[in-house]
Amino acid sequence: MQARLPEWVDPLALVDRRARLAGEIPLARLERLAGLLCDTEGSLQAEMDFGRFEERRPGVRGKVKGRLHMTCQRCLEAVEIPVDLDFELYLVESAALAERLPDGLEPLLHERGQVSPREVVEDEVLLALPLVPRHARGQCRPPRGGEATASDVEAERPRPFAVLERLRRQ
Ligand SMILES: [Zn+2]
């Protein structure tokens, strides 16, 4: 098992040392995220590299990988959501300084010189979650009890192959 990430870090000290943190975070410890999941088995793997990036500004680059289970909004069974995301955040001490970051640079507010790697990772994963988790088309479990529940499937956006089907019929 990999090391756990430290609970709190001094990000500017890590920038000076160009430090790397790597470790795993049990899903059960991510309380805001856990509320959106079917189960909290397993953990996410996270890496964070501190340093000076754009315009030599202090920041952190990171990666998060893992798997989550959410409730499919079509069949209400669990659907696996792969997590594989990168982020780049720039350290700022106040919201006012965050406003002054150049366009395209994302702020990471650190109050009293501390940052929680776990919270940074949780924020990034929350931003990346699908708004409407669903199995891929055709991968849903058949409805239980024989009640027809396919109405939402038919009511969806036009299917990409509908045009082809129409052409074929002509
Ligand atoms: Zn489904």
Residue 21, domain member (yes or no): yes
Nearest CA among 144, 124, 127, 27 for reference residue 75: 144
pLDDT for 62-114, tens place per residue?
999 999 999 999 999 999 999 999 999 999 999 999 999 999 999 999 978 89
Looking at the predicted structure, is the pLDDT value of residue 131 above 80? yes
Does the residue 56 lie in any domain?
A: yes
Mean pLDDT to the nearest integer, 19-42: 95
pTM for the predicted model, two decimal places:
0.80
Domain membership of residue 58 (yes or no) is yes
Classify residue 77: in a domain, yes or no.
Answer: yes
Q: Residues with beta carbon < 5 A to ion ligand 1?
A: 72, 74-75, 135, 140
Question: Token digits for 121?
Answer: 């990772």
Whether 32 is in a domain gets the answer yes
Alpha carbon of 140 to ligand 1 centroid (Å): 4
CA 122 to ligand 1 center in whole angstroms: 25
Confidence of residue 158 (pLDDT cuts 50, 70, 90): low
Q: Which domain holds residue 15?
A: 11-137
For the cut 70, the answer to whether the pLDDT of residue 2 exceeds it is no
Mean pLDDT, residues 43-64 = 97
Residue 142: inside a domain, yes or no? no
15 is a domain residue: yes
**Non-local CB neighbours of 168 within 8 Å, separated by 6+ positions:** none
CA of 60 from ligand 1 middle (Å) equals 36
Number of domains in the chain: 1
The mean pLDDT of the chain is 88
Mean pLDDT, range 110-135, rounded to an integer: 94
Q: How far is the CA of 120 from the centre of ligand 1 (A)?
A: 30
Q: Would residue 17 count as lying in a domain?
A: yes
Q: Please give the backbone phi and psi of residue 72, each rounded to the nearest 5 degrees, phi first.
A: -65, 130
Cα of 46 to ligand 1 centre, how many Å?
28
Q: How far is the CA of 121 from the centre of ligand 1 (A)?
A: 27
